[in-house]
Every structure is written in C-alpha cells, then in structure tokens.
Amino acid sequence: MKIGTIKESKSKETRVALSPEVVKNFIKQGFECVVESGAGLSSYFSDEAYKNAGAQILNTAAEVCQAVDVLVKVNAPQQDEVNNLKEGSVLISFLYHLTNPQLIEALNAKKISAFSTDAMPRISRAQSMDVLSSQSNLAGYKSVILAADHAPKIFPMLMTAAGTITPAKVVIFGAGVAGLQAIGTAKRLGAVVEVTDIRPETKEQVESLGGKFISFDLGNDVKTEGGYVKEAGEDVLKRQREILKKHLAVADCVITTALIPGRKAPVLITEDMVNVMKFGSVIVDMAVEQGGNCELSKADEVIERNGVKIVGLTNLAGMLPQNASEGYAKNIYNFLTHLATKEGMKWEREEEITRGTLICHQGEILRK
C-alpha cells in the first residue's frame, strides 16, 4: 500500500502532512511512501531526509497523486488537486465538510474515499489521532508569544532600581486545548491570567494552571457535544459580553479561542467592548479564519482601533512549522495504521472512528 503527500498549495501554508520520522515508521510497518520534491522544505525537512527515511521522491504533485493509494494532506485540496487524484483512491486531510459541500461533491464524483481529520471523535482512544488538539496546542502557545510581542509592556513583575513594574493582565476567552496552552504559557511568562468559558466544567482545569476563572450563570442555553460548544444563543453571548466588559477594561492582552464546528465563530468582543479597552492593549483573535471572535478582526492583518492592536493572523500553528508538521504527521500515522494494514484499508464502516471521519466513500456521501 502506497502512502503519499504533496506540497501544500494554500497561501502561506508551511506545514507538510508527513515527516521523515513518520515515513520511516510507515516503512517499518510495510507501507511504501511517496513524497513530492520540496514538499517539506517550509517545515525544514529536506528531500534528502525523506530519501534517507526510505521515501520515493517524485517531481510533481500530479505524479504523486497518480502513484499512491492514499494521499495525506494538511489542507483541503484545491480543485486542480482533486482533478489529479486517482479515481477510487483515499484522501486524508482537513475537509471541514459541513462548510465545504461543493468540495465533497467533487471528491465523491471521482469515487474518492475522503476522511476529514477535523471530524475526529472526541474519545480517549482517538486522542493520539486528534489533529485539532496537536495544532491548537501549538497555536495557543504562539498566540501568547504574539501578544507579548505586540504589547508595549513586559509580562512579568519586575523589581528594578527605578521601581516595580506590575505584571501584565491577560484575559483568555475559551479553555479548550488552545486556551489551556495559552494559560500555561502566559503564566510562565509571569502574567496575571483571567479566563472565561461558557462551560463551567472547565473551571477546575483553569485553576490548576494558575488562572482565575471568571464565573457567571448562563442558565441552560448552552449546548455542548463531544467537548465542544455546539450552540450558544445570542442571549447567552450578550450576557457574557456585559459581564466581561469590566475585565477587558483593565486587560493588557486578550486572547480569543472560541470556535463552533461547522459554523461561523461567535462574536465575543464587539466594537463597543474594544472601545472600553486600555490604550496600548492587544487582542489576538485565534478564530479569525472562521469569521473572528472580535467584531473588528481582519484575517491576516494587524490593525489598530482607538489605540488597541487587533492581531488577526491565521494559521498560528504554521508559524511553528517543524513542530506542527511533526505533530500532524504522528496523528496521521496513528490514524492510518488504525484504518489500514500494509495490504490495504480495513473499511470497518461501523467502527466509531471510521464512522465519524469517513465523509464520502465509493460514490456515496455519508456525512452532510
């Protein structure tokens, strides 16, 4: 069974779906690996490293697509990449199938069996395959580094001959994987950290990392599924905004991480809320690619409004390409060795991980 990867075509993408180490592991299991020349260069993996690991290097993406049984990618394929795929082959990548129905139709038309890595069930035996967690972990770290870089003051308290510098106050929206890593990173840098999450069960995790949990009663209007917030009514968000205004007014840095799978990111910080923030404060909006948690955020831009910097950079994990690619590749290895042996795919359609991630198969769309 041949597994391959190609250079990501999405603008500013630096990650690659297979690392040389994972190629070596696949080959030990009896698989063959094929890599497009230059696919790993942005992650600082050379063609030579892949060759030494045992991979075959081909010159173009089209050659790789035609040579392999399974193509693994980071981002969903562009239309020309769909055209290159071998009919009846397997694709594994982020697909965001709920918001990309046309892509799923195009893949299905070629009888591609497509697995969406972002649809991984939140169950304990799938943790080692969870690409959202591995990438969010790094993005949470990077968000704090960006906040510290744009802030006009340092994070830790400092005793100097000129007097005491008070620590920065950081407010984090969301205590999922990204938020928890952001808490830990901000605390290590010496900041005072406050955290808000509409899931009250996250309070213990926040406090275990040294953060102060901002508590409020939102009633029964919040729906969760698989550890994610599935839906939060506008009334809930309005109450949350009102409570948080006073916390934002004294914050030096704010980091927002809230996402709802398959839907636009909820607006947690309105223009009115930005207007009450301190001159020189910073917002890092990690949800900007899905519409943004801040009403004023702009994708891939750093803007300033009334003295408040709003950092809307996308693909924060891709700013740490070597770690991000290594983590993603290990997730793919664990996922694919669960789905297949060196002889081929198992196609255990009723198994929970397969059922959750297989979006279309042999001309049939399974999940909409």
Q: Is 127 a catalytic residue?
A: yes
The enclosing H or E element of 210 equals none
pLDDT score, position 263: 83
For 62-71, what is each residue's pLDDT tens digit?
Answer: 999 999 999 9
Per the structure block, which two tokens stand in for 350? 């009723």
Q: Is 328 a catalytic residue?
A: no
All structural domains of the chain? 2-119+320-361 (3.40.50.720), 138-319 (3.40.50.720)
Among candidate residues 228, 241, 322, 355, the one labeled active-site is 228
User: Measuring CA to CA, which residue among 96, 54, 145, 135 is closest to residue 260?
Assistant: 96
For 293-344, what is each residue's pLDDT tens digit?
Answer: 999 999 999 999 999 999 999 999 999 999 999 999 999 999 999 999 999 9
From 90-94, 165-169, 192-196, 363-367, the region with the lowest mean pLDDT? 363-367
- Cα–Cα distance measured from residue 191 to residue 64, given in angstroms and rounded to the nearest whole number: 48
DSSP state at residue 118: G
- Cα–Cα distance measured from residue 37 to residue 17, given in angstroms and rounded to the nearest whole number: 14
User: Measuring CA to CA, which residue among 328, 335, 355, 283 is closest to residue 135?
Assistant: 328
Bridge partners for 222 per DSSP: 232
> Which has the higher per-residue pLDDT, 117 or 226?
117
Among candidate residues 37, 56, 66, 122, the one labeled active-site is 122
Residue 178 CB-density burial (10 A; 0-12 exposed, 13-18 middle, 19+ buried): buried
Q: Is 134 a catalytic residue?
A: no
- Cα–Cα distance measured from residue 61 to residue 67, given in angstroms and rounded to the nearest whole number: 10
For 257-290, what is each residue's pLDDT tens digit?
Answer: 998 877 889 999 999 999 999 999 999 999 999 9
Q: What CA dihedral angle connects 228, 231, 232 and 233, to 10 degrees?
A: 180
pLDDT score, position 241: 77
DSSP state at residue 119: G
Mean pLDDT of 138-163: 96
Mean pLDDT of 7-11: 94
For 41-64, what is each residue's pLDDT tens digit?
Answer: 999 999 999 999 999 999 999 999
Among candidate residues 89, 116, 133, 136, the one labeled active-site is 133
User: Measuring CA to CA, which residue among 87, 28, 58, 109 is closest to residue 360?
Assistant: 109
The answer, yes or no, to whether residue 221 has pLDDT greater than 70, is no
- Percent of the chain with pLDDT strictly greater than 70: 95
Mean pLDDT of 352-362: 96
Please give the span between the terminal C-alpha atoms of the chain, in angstroms, as a whole number: 29
Side-chain half-sphere CA neighbours of 115 within 13 A: 29
- Cα–Cα distance measured from residue 210 to residue 240, given in angstroms and rounded to the nearest whole number: 22
DSSP state at residue 288: G
Among candidate residues 9, 127, 215, 362, the one labeled active-site is 127
Among candidate residues 69, 118, 130, 197, the one labeled active-site is 130
Q: Which residue has the tokens 């041949």?
A: 2
